[in-house]
Amino acid sequence: MIRIHTDGACRGNPGPGGWAWASGADEFASGAEAHTTNQRMEVIAVIEALREHPDGPIEIVSDSNYVVKCFHEKWYVGWLRRNWKNTKGQSVANRDLWEALLPLVLESGREVTFSWVKGHSGDRMNDFVDELATAAADAQRGRRS
C-alpha cells in the first residue's frame, strides 16, 4: 500500500491557496490557485494524489477532518441521497470537487483508505506537505486571476 500525505493551505479564506501531496521526500507535487478556500485546497490535494497514482491500494493521510470524515462517516451517502444537499438542506460546499473525488475513491476498483493526522504536531510528512502547500499559496500572493 502506498501512503500519501496531502495538505491544503490558504492565505485568507478565501484567498491565495496551495495544495500538495507527497509519498516521500522524492515523490511529491504541489499547485496553487489565486482565489480559493482551504477546504478546496485540501480536496484538490487528494484528487491530484489519486490521479497521479491510478493503480494499487493507497492510504491518504490528511490533517483535514473535512476530507477524512467525509469517508469515515460516509457524508457522501447522505449528500447523494439528498441530491447534493447537506443535513441542513443547503447545497453541499465544493460539490464540483467532491463529484471529481468520489469516483476516484469509490469506483476505482482499488482500496483507498483515509487516515487523520494532527496538523502541526511534528509528523514529518505532514509538516513537509504543509510547507509545500504553504509555499504554493505564498507564490500566489499579489497575483490576480
**Would you place residue 103 in the very low, low, confident or very high pLDDT band (cuts 50, 70, 90)?**
very high
* d(C-alpha 27, C-alpha 4), whole Å: 10
Q: Is 67 exposed, middle or buried (0-12, 13-18, 19+ CB in 10 A)?
A: buried
Q: Choose the catalytic residue: 8, 17, 18, 33.
A: 8
CATH architecture of 2-139: 2-Layer Sandwich (3.30)
Per DSSP, helices labelled H in 13-123 are 38-52, 65-72, 75-81, 95-106
Average pLDDT over residues 98-113: 96
Q: What is the pTM of this model?
A: 0.95
Q: Is 122 exposed, middle or buried (0-12, 13-18, 19+ CB in 10 A)?
A: exposed
Q: How many CA atoms lie within 13 A of 2 on its CB side?
A: 20
Q: Choose the catalytic residue: 5, 18, 33, 42.
A: 42
Active-site annotation holds for 120: yes
Active-site annotation holds for 130: yes
Q: What confidence tens digit (pLDDT) does each residue in 116-145 have? A: 999 988 999 999 999 999 999 999 765 544
Active-site annotation holds for 8: yes
* Pairing outcome for strands 58-62 and 2-10: parallel
Active-site annotation holds for 17: no
Q: Choose the catalytic residue: 26, 107, 109, 120.
A: 120
Grid coordinates given for 103: 469516483
Q: What confidence tens digit (pLDDT) does each residue in 12-71 have? A: 889 999 999 999 989 999 999 999 999 999 999 999 999 999 999 999 999 999 999 999
Place of cell 509528523: 123
Given a contact cutoff of 8 angstroms between Cβ atoms, the answer to whether 62 and 68 are in contact is yes
- Eight-state DSSP code of residue 84: S
